[in-house]
Structure 1
Amino acid sequence: MSDDTIRLVTIGRILRRRWRLLTVLAVIGALVGYGTSVLFPPRYTASASVLLPGQWEERELLTQAEIATSSAVVDRAAATLRWKGVGGGELRDRVSARTADGNIIKISGTAGTPQRAQQLSDRVAQQFVTFAARIADESADPDAAAGAEALRQKVAQTNRRITDLADAADPGRTVEGVQARTELEKLRTALQEAMKKLDDAAPATNKAGMVVMGPAARPTGEAPPTRTQLVVAGALLFFLLAVLGHLAAARVSRRLCTEPEIAAALGSVLLGTVEVSDERPAHRPGGSGPWARIRRLLGVDTRWHLPTPRMSGDEADRRIRYRRVCARLREQLPAAGQLLVVVPDGDEIARRAAGQLVAEAESDPSCHSSSTEHPLSLVGVPVSRPLVPDRDTESGALVVLSAGSWTAGELAGIAEACADAGHEVVGVVVAGTVRARPTRTRSAGRPPQHATPSSAVGGAVRGGSV
């Protein structure tokens, strides 16, 4: 898993095998989002539009938007609102302005109620228009304004004089009269165009007169993030963090998943792989207590990263694998003797497989001799502090475990414990789970003669028929 690319099948496996845990974490995230919404009361936002007549460049519009949210404007709005405990400094964080198409500046105000949000945006827009008009009046040059007005009067007098001259000309009777009237009209048109250019070039007269385009509409919904959004965001965040946590844990995991790696960590040879049906036993070692019940309820007591168990044959097919392991044991140890079957504590799959292996060895007459009544003896070993019983009549130790459960260091500790007790690890058997088909009658195989005894999957068991 640590070297594989994360695929959709991996995500699906997490969702299928950890759906209870993911659901609980999503509910916790939703509660956290709800608590956050309680700590931060709802906000409402209203917007008022201000029209700036004339021709404006983009940088000039941005400057006006900055003026709309300046302290000079917001402080005046706060003074007119007279909200208790709310000053201009706090309102500056609630007011924003942006430019829109058509020389329009939208001023938005945020408050705890829809009515206050509407009042805030309206007052700021009014104060902005007043402040901008005052700036325009103060920046205007009185002499230039007087000169422009005098020029307009002169142009008006000239237009009247042109009209008098056109009337005095001999209209339509002679060629000279028609030419005179044409020249006078051209002069009138040129004067009008010159005055128009003069008016367009005067910013004080062209850019004054900003207009508030009606009162702000009262908001009908909360400003984001709303309570619903916070609840959904909290649930989604916790859900994604849980999935990412599973992926990260699987990627950094050092548990061995292949048979060659497991055999190398134990310093022995692989005798074969056996299968047990994929079922949950009624009792599990160490499964008592409230925490164990919670783990079972959430489904975190089973490994999620292992592939889905494949479909296998019936019981007779699975027993063939156990008999082959027994045959390899006889080849490995030609001399008759008793073997100690070592199973790590907490490996339920390995315990069930070891119990069936012990039962199969007892039912195989070729495994018995006059000096050995019970060929295999099962013992459970704690992985944290492995301790194996000292050698008595055993000829060695056989380690049975499942793939993807233990690290190389843990398996090396079991091998060292066997060596300290005088047992040589003669082989390794890897157990896996399969989905069993209904049992059918076979002529080539034998029907099961021994169910797995309860003592065979118990704690530390030595000798007997386990």
Structure 2
Amino acid sequence: MSDDTIRLVTIGRIIRRRWRLLTVLAVVGALVGYGTSLLFPPRYTTSASVLLPGAWEERELLTQAEIATSSVVVDRAAATLGWTGVSGSELRDRVSAKATDGNIIKISGTADTPERAQRLADQVAQQFVAFAARLAGDDTESAASTGPEALRKMVVQTSRRITELADAADPGRTVESVQGRTELEKLRIALQEAVKKLDEADPVTNKSNMVVMGQAARPAGEAPPTRTQLIVAGALLFFLLAVIGQLTAARMSRRLRTEPEIAAALGSALLGTVDVPGERPAHRPEGSGPRARFRRLLGLDVRWDIPTPRASGDEAGRLIRYRRVCARLRDRLPAPRRLLVVVPEGDEIARRAAEQLVAESRGDRSPTSSGSGYPVLRVVEVSVSQPLVPDRGTESGALVVLSAGSWTADELTGIAEACADGKHEVVGIVVAGAVRARTKRSAGHPPDDAAPALAVPGHAAGGAG
């Protein structure tokens, strides 16, 4: 799988063949998420809105949002709330503010109960409004607040004086008097317009009158992440990690999957491929220990990275493949010989294929022109960790039968070296593959050329057949 593209069918195969392991890991992840939720108490968040009347620029609104979460405002709120063990520095981590559309500052407070969250947001909003009013001078008699009012009084007095001067002037008798009255009227109009503009642009009266838009709503649910979210996130995280781990392990696998790679590792020629019918997945190692039972329980004894077996043809077609292999093996040998059929230990598909080859070789009824028949075969299973092949005796040669995608190059090289140590030449290789058997045929006479199925005893390494 190292060069294959990861597709949805691959993910589906992992889920289908590793569903027990994935379920167990998802449950473990959910328990981890639940434990995490116990370490972090629930949090509740609510917000209070403060309206800023007048015209404000964006940077001014950002400044006001920073003021709302400043240490001065939060410390005053903490002092007013008087919560035991909660200081202003701790509250600053629970308070946030942001400017929204419509000149509104939204102040959010987070606490361990809905009531405390509501009180915190309301108190910070009130302290912010009070602090902003103090900065603007609403609660002082500063010159900034008294100056505009004094200026208005002076404008009124000046307007009256202008009227008196205009009345005292000689109305309409001379050109100079008419021009004087006109200039005085223009001056009075200009003063009134200036006062009007001053009222419209007065930052004290327009920008300092901030309003808290009602009490903060009491939160009805926890702030994220909630306990349910942590449990679901833990289960999903462990599930994804398990899938990614399976994909990574398959991509890093060094098992040989192609026939040329297998032939190169064993140093011999490929005689053909044969099919083994059956619904059981390939390469299911047997065992009776606790570890083997645990692997069977989680489904780890079944390889997921082996493609789904293709549909099988009829029995006659499968038997033809076995006979062709036996014929090629006969043609490669100068005379009928006895051969060892070497099968890697634990390769169930290869073992069944080897047994069928033995049955076909014993049922040979088609002698050649020279009178020679199929070689006599005996099956031996060889451990891939410590390969040991019986020494050359009545058998002089080895036929290796194995399934693709189950063994690495080093393991196959070890089997070839074990054959060489036993003075056996590897005369050929047969690759076995699992197929889905069709429905059984109705009862009837088997074909005349069908070989009987024979049980081959003694599959242990070095056993007699």
Range of TM-score over shorter length: 0.7 to 0.9
CA distance in 2, matches of 1:445, 1:187: 127
2:379 match: 378
1:340 match: 340
SS in 2 for 1:428: strand
1:22 match: 22
Report the residue type matching 1:304 in the other structure. Answer: W
1:4 match: 4
CA distance in 2, matches of 1:185, 1:210: 39
Q: Alpha-carbon deviation of 1:151?
A: 1.4
Q: Alpha-carbon deviation of 1:279?
A: 2.5
2:87 match: 87
Q: Alpha-carbon deviation of 1:230?
A: 1.1
Q: Alpha-carbon deviation of 1:202?
A: 4.2
How many residues are matched?
Answer: 459
Per the alignment, do residues 303 and 197 of structure 1 end up closer, same or farther by CA in structure 2, a change over 3 Å counting? Answer: same
CA distance in 2, matches of 1:186, 1:445: 127
Per the alignment, do residues 239 and 285 of structure 1 end up closer, same or farther by CA in structure 2, a change over 3 Å counting? Answer: closer
2:47·2:107 contact (CA, 8 Å) conserved in 1?
yes
Say whether 1:438 aligns with 2:433: no
Say whether 1:47 aligns with 2:34: no
Say whether 1:405 aligns with 2:406: yes
2:457 match: 455
Say whether 1:61 aligns with 2:39: no
Q: How does 1:149-228 map to 2 (within 5 A)?
A: 149-157=149-157, 190-228=190-228
Q: Alpha-carbon deviation of 1:324?
A: 1.0
Q: Alpha-carbon deviation of 1:193?
A: 3.7
1:33·1:230 contact (CA, 8 Å) conserved in 2?
yes
2:389·2:461 contact (CA, 8 Å) conserved in 1?
no
Q: Alpha-carbon deviation of 1:403?
A: 0.5
Per the alignment, do residues 66 and 374 of structure 1 end up closer, same or farther by CA in structure 2, a change over 3 Å counting? Answer: same
CA distance in 1, matches of 2:437, 2:265: 31
Structure 1 window deviating more from structure 2 (239-248 vs 15-24): it is 15-24
CA distance in 1, matches of 2:421, 2:298: 39
Per the alignment, do residues 167 and 341 of structure 1 end up closer, same or farther by CA in structure 2, a change over 3 Å counting? Answer: farther
Per the alignment, do residues 331 and 133 of structure 1 end up closer, same or farther by CA in structure 2, a change over 3 Å counting? Answer: same
CA distance in 1, matches of 2:181, 2:19: 94
Q: How does 1:244-283 map to 2 (within 5 A)?
A: 244-280=244-280
CA distance in 2, matches of 1:447, 1:158: 132
Listed as ranges, the gaps of 5+ residues in structure 1 are 169-178
Spell out, residue by residue over 1:170-227, the C-alpha distance to the aligned partner (whole angstroms, 9 max, x if none).
xxxxxxxxx9999999877644442243245443443212221111100001100111
Structure 1 window deviating more from structure 2 (187-196 vs 439-448): it is 439-448
CA distance in 1, matches of 2:339, 2:367: 11
Listed as ranges, the gaps of 5+ residues in structure 2 are 169-178
Structure 1 window deviating more from structure 2 (269-278 vs 248-257): it is 248-257
CA distance in 2, matches of 1:76, 1:316: 92
RMSD across aligned positions (CA): 3.7
2:25·2:242 contact (CA, 8 Å) conserved in 1?
yes
Per the alignment, do residues 159 and 264 of structure 1 end up closer, same or farther by CA in structure 2, a change over 3 Å counting? Answer: same
Spell out, residue by residue over 1:356-379, the C-alpha distance to the aligned partner (whole angstroms, 9 max, x if none).
212222222469999999811111
Per the alignment, do residues 391 and 185 of structure 1 end up closer, same or farther by CA in structure 2, a change over 3 Å counting? Answer: farther
CA distance in 1, matches of 2:249, 2:367: 43
Structure 1 window deviating more from structure 2 (198-207 vs 44-53): it is 198-207
CA distance in 2, matches of 1:377, 1:293: 31
SS in 1 for 2:396: strand
The normalised TM-score by structure 1 is 0.87
Structure 1 window deviating more from structure 2 (6-15 vs 218-227): it is 6-15
Q: How does 1:232-381 map to 2 (within 5 A)?
A: 232-280=232-280, 286-365=286-365, 375-381=376-382
SS in 2 for 1:409: helix
CA distance in 2, matches of 1:193, 1:408: 97
Per the alignment, do residues 9 and 286 of structure 1 end up closer, same or farther by CA in structure 2, a change over 3 Å counting? Answer: closer
SS in 1 for 2:47: strand
Say whether 1:137 aligns with 2:137: yes
1:174 match: none
Q: Alpha-carbon deviation of 1:162?
A: 8.0
The normalised TM-score by structure 2 is 0.87
Per the alignment, do residues 256 and 189 of structure 1 end up closer, same or farther by CA in structure 2, a change over 3 Å counting? Answer: farther
2:285·2:301 contact (CA, 8 Å) conserved in 1?
no
CA distance in 1, matches of 2:163, 2:345: 116
Report the residue type matching 1:320 in the other structure. Answer: I
Structure 1 window deviating more from structure 2 (215-224 vs 9-18): it is 9-18
CA distance in 2, matches of 1:371, 1:275: 26
CA distance in 1, matches of 2:73, 2:373: 101
CA distance in 2, matches of 1:316, 1:150: 116
1:73 match: 73
1:337·1:372 contact (CA, 8 Å) conserved in 2?
no
CA distance in 2, matches of 1:437, 1:182: 116
